[in-house]
Structure 1
């Protein structure tokens, strides 16, 4: 009899287990249904899944509304952002944390990030920069500049700021950050700024940075400014500013190492990408170059400035810049080197290929007499070194002047190489397509014919100019597929 009972128990256990699972499943479904219904009626929590690519995934997540955020475009959320970052910083050693910004308009002043942290913006989220100046703390000038760019005193902290951080991600599903820069532009033009205008995003003394899949609008000044940092990935950024807005540079890597900028679209009132490393005697003393920089698949519109500018603040040096697959439309110049006596430093080992330019004032421009000094204490004997500049495989149309290359007397720019470049001049182009002073180099397969100081090396050498075959370390970075469930209040 005992054996019979054991057999019956063994036979019925799977059936019981099956029915238990069925009951549990029904109960879970009912609970979820009630939760959703309750959420719809009482504005409770709703579950949303996020998927994106990032250098790091996070173990913890929270929504801005969990910290009192209100996305009505009028309520100030500076404290909510600060409280959220402060709380989530506790998880830095436990897999990091993500702050989710839901759909809505989130008015905020400046706030700082933390390490092992992701700021994620929903596709319909808009961060609106506050028009209240008190929401922008003032900090000291950058040591490699010695003063602010707009004023000799300090500078307003950027909207999204961070210093001495590791593993920081600012991303989204093409969410928007609107700097509402009109107020700042008016103050700049009216000479009413006591401090330098803020940027939209600035990270200092930091490493392992990702800024991706965002739209940046109407920055008060520069849009993205990594400085004194390394291992930086900037991808899929759209930057839009009125073409007459002052100094609204797109992306400015400044004294940074190992940076990759790719798949970005920029309409700007200044240079689309401006590579920098400090200003005059301050940059020389700080001595931190920008190097190992990759720029690819960039589309730029900048009628009054350059697509890619090297300088003018380049006193710490710029070396090993690789740009390819660039589209320039209605811009003042394709590539511009800006420097002058007193800058010191160097710009060398520059490689650009695969550039298409349409409606340009100059395809190439080098300026050795750029002024705009930090103060009157610069060294008049600090001559910059410009050498190893390589441009190849380019086509341009509707161009007013092929090139304006102006070195420095007694300090010529050397090692300039231009090959396989065809420039179609505009109907009302300058009579002299090239002007060259104090420059030395070579050319091959260039139309119209360059200056005599860039002698043609023959049609068989159209691949004359270098472009490195080996990859930089930043190109080895692989993104992870991140996925999180976010609870939030709509």
Structure 2
């Protein structure tokens, strides 16, 4: 387009009739496109010295053109600044179609509020294959490998994925149909997966329609997840919201999740593979979570927990039309432990089970699991619970000769449906105490006066992360 030029009124009046002045000037203005910059601020674990916009690398935001090469070129170019203050890549307004791409260290991916990243459906060329996770021994969907996640990274340090509520759409219906029709030989991609990484922030985004799990930090530490809106149809397969997996020091807060599976699922490997890998999930904070998932749990611990799960602290949890509150899922063959679990200030409306523990979750990666690998479930604490329109207060099924012990429930008021089940509490192979709980619990959880279940008051290191105020400059043409 020809650059805009300055005109003087006197020159125009001397050369053409005055009646044409406004028409010519308006035509000239219509031809001009002005580049307008706006600077946005956002909180992050670290700010960046260098910055680039995705369009600097030839990206086209029409929702049809593949931008996989542009994302890769941009990140490759910016990776050279890792040791010089780091870099950020700004995704501007537009619809940016892309396949899988990898992040780099000391790097921020920032999505403008009007930016939409669309996952490609070109399965053959846009989705590289990865080996199975060593703590799983096979793909979660199928025995062979797995597709790389849409946004992926491994062995990284200091990575931020954020925005001012920009959107990532996994276009999952394409994958859900193939999964239901048993057309996939490898595991579906996750939306965001970071492996073997440290200092991770994922925040202030809207994530919709992931092919499978949405957010999967695995074998990582110091993970901060904040302000995510995660949305998938409630009948979509395996669309877990956030799955911290063999991670240490993780904080999840202020998230809203509507899902076809568990809103949050804490994991640490599967049967003999998880036992051998031996990396637990521990020191996890979950707070101010709102969940809707009619067929699954608000927070699930397991079922893949063979590296162990310890020191989980959940508080200020709300669930609506969700199958269960905090659910423990395990089985013979899992081994390891789920212990030192604390949850308080939970509000549930329209639930099947408030408390649910399952010792017979018998999905195994193969026949090689150890039938003598009994899990240890101990030190489970729930307090300050209000639940309305509930079918069952609890279903607590331990394992014969391996009971779940140290269960404590206090200050819980559960209102059953208009036509409640005859036995609101179903308990086998469990032991513990309760205090101020209605309706009356089962005999294996006797009421004891003055019981107030423990919730730790010490601070974990992840709680002391101080966010900095960072800036991103975006450009638009008008």
TM-score, scaled to structure 1: 0.91
Contact 2:92 2:475 in 1 (8 A): no
Which of residues 281, 292, 303 is equivalent to 1:301? 292
Equivalence for 1:6: none
SS of the equivalent of 1:135 reads coil
Gaps of 5+ in 2: 1-27
Q: Equivalent residues in 2 for 1:351-362 (5 A)?
A: 351-362=342-353
Q: Equivalent residues in 2 for 1:260-409 (5 A)?
A: 260-409=251-400
Q: CA deviation at 1:486?
A: 3.8
- 1:447 maps onto 2:438 in alignment: yes
SS of the equivalent of 1:249 reads coil
Q: Which structure's residues are more often helix, by fraction?
A: 1
- 1:480 maps onto 2:468 in alignment: yes
- 1:103 maps onto 2:88 in alignment: no
SS of the equivalent of 2:84 reads coil
Equivalence for 1:436: 427
Contact 1:62 1:486 in 2 (8 A): no
Contact 1:62 1:487 in 2 (8 A): no
Equivalence for 2:58: 68
CA distance, structure 1, for counterparts of residue 350 and residue 229 of structure 2: 21
**1:480–1:193 CA distance, 2 compared to 1 (3 A):** same
Residues 154-186 of structure 1: CA distance to partner in whole angstroms, max 9, x if unpaired? 000000000000000000010000000001001
SS of the equivalent of 2:193 reads strand
Q: CA deviation at 1:430?
A: 1.1
Equivalence for 1:29: none
Which of residues 247, 251, 261 is equivalent to 1:256? 247
Q: Equivalent residues in 2 for 1:461-472 (5 A)?
A: 461=451, 464-472=452-460
Which of residues 176, 189, 204 is equivalent to 2:180? 189
Q: Equivalent residues in 2 for 1:15-164 (5 A)?
A: 41-43=31-33, 45-133=35-123, 134-164=125-155
**1:39–1:469 CA distance, 2 compared to 1 (3 A):** farther
Q: CA deviation at 1:485?
A: 3.0
Q: CA deviation at 1:428?
A: 2.2
Which of residues 398, 416, 425 is equivalent to 2:416? 425
Q: CA deviation at 1:46?
A: 3.0
CA distance, structure 2, for counterparts of residue 484 and residue 232 of structure 1: 22
Contact 1:39 1:46 in 2 (8 A): no
Equivalence for 2:23: none
Larger Rg: 1
CA distance, structure 1, for counterparts of residue 132 and residue 279 of structure 2: 16
Contact 1:101 1:120 in 2 (8 A): yes
Contact 1:172 1:212 in 2 (8 A): yes
**1:39–1:56 CA distance, 2 compared to 1 (3 A):** farther
**1:411–1:113 CA distance, 2 compared to 1 (3 A):** same
RMSD (Å), alpha carbons: 1.4
Residues 358-377 of structure 1: CA distance to partner in whole angstroms, max 9, x if unpaired? 00000010000001101000
SS of the equivalent of 2:74 reads helix
Residues 78-116 of structure 1: CA distance to partner in whole angstroms, max 9, x if unpaired? 000000000000111111000000111000000000000
Gaps of 5+ in 1: 1-37
**1:52–1:39 CA distance, 2 compared to 1 (3 A):** farther
Q: Which runs of 4+ in 1 moved over 2 A?
A: 38-46, 484-490
